[in-house]
Amino acid sequence: DAGVIQSPRHEVTEMGQEVTLRCKPISGHDYLFWYRQTMMRGLELLIYFNNNVPIDDSGMPEDRFSAKMPNASFSTLKIQPSEPRDSAVYFCASSWRSSGNTIYFGEGSWLTVV
Amino acid sequence: QQQVKQSPQSLIVQKGGISIINCAYENTAFDYFPWYQQFPGKGPALLIAIRPDVSEKKEGRFTISFNKSAKQFSLHIMDSQPGDSATYFCAASITGGFKTIFGAGTRLFVKA
């Protein structure tokens, strides 16, 4: 079975550029999460969706960050403009109502902003 | 009140020893407490989980101990192996809520 698929796996970009991270959740999952992992702050929940609708975006750090889920099989996390402090690993994860709250993570997108 | 506090930050254990990682939470509404294991370059993956109606859950060499009154839970890895070297996250959530709060993580290194 295919797991959560994220792209790109690695991205290096210059400060001020727009960054778009993409995610394909596991088929049949109706919850989608975006997490950010850094050494200093650990794993932070940025936003999560249920049935393509954003439920809680209280973790989104500022207006430079936006996330969309246009359909059940695709989501994007966009940073515009990017800053060096946005350098982190961004994880997409998915789940479904009968999973017992288990979350399935992708392998992450490693973002470096120089 | 949403925090989950995890300790230690890092841990070095001899092969065959017992690894113990501790977590504490504040929100008494939490009713699902998973542990996730993360290898370098990979995403976290569920290792074992417990609900507060039991005080202990064991799966192979991995055991969760849960103390509801103290609002603490811990992961014990018996007979630790070099292949267990990874980062371990405790977490907490409310069933059906799906908003999972993670601890800061513990980097475990098992020496051969």
Please write the tens of the pLDDT for every residue from A14-29.
999 999 999 999 999 9
Q: Which of these, B71, B84, B72, B95, lies nearest to B16 by C-alpha position?
A: B84
pLDDT over threshold 60, residue A79: yes
Residues ≥6 apart with Cβ < 8 Å to A63: none
A30 to chain B: nearest residue by CA? B98
β-sheet bridge partners, residue A53:
A50
- In this predicted model, what pLDDT tens digit does every residue of B94-110 receive, in sequence order? 887 778 899 999 999 99
Pull the structure tokens for residue B54. 């039991």
Over residues B78-90, the mean pLDDT reads 98
- In this predicted model, what pLDDT tens digit does every residue of B2-21 receive, in sequence order? 689 999 999 999 999 999 99
DSSP 8-state secondary structure symbol assigned to residue B50: E
Q: Which residues of A touch B101 (CB under 8 A)?
A: 45
**What whole-number distance in Å separates Cα of residue B92 and Cα of residue B66?**
12
> What is the residue whose two structure tokens read 């055991």?
B63
Over residues B86-97, the mean pLDDT reads 91
Contact check, Cβ <8 Å, B100/A4 = no
pLDDT band at B60 (very low <50, low <70, confident <90, very high): very high
Over residues A50-67, the mean pLDDT reads 94
Pull the structure tokens for residue B75. 């992961």
CB A77 within 8 A of CB A90: yes
pLDDT over threshold 60, residue B1: no
**What whole-number distance in Å separates Cα of residue B11 and Cα of residue A99?**
31
**What whole-number distance in Å separates Cα of residue B17 and Cα of residue B50?**
23
The beta-carbon neighbor of B99 closest among A45, A100, A102 is: A45
Contact check, Cβ <8 Å, B98/A50 = yes
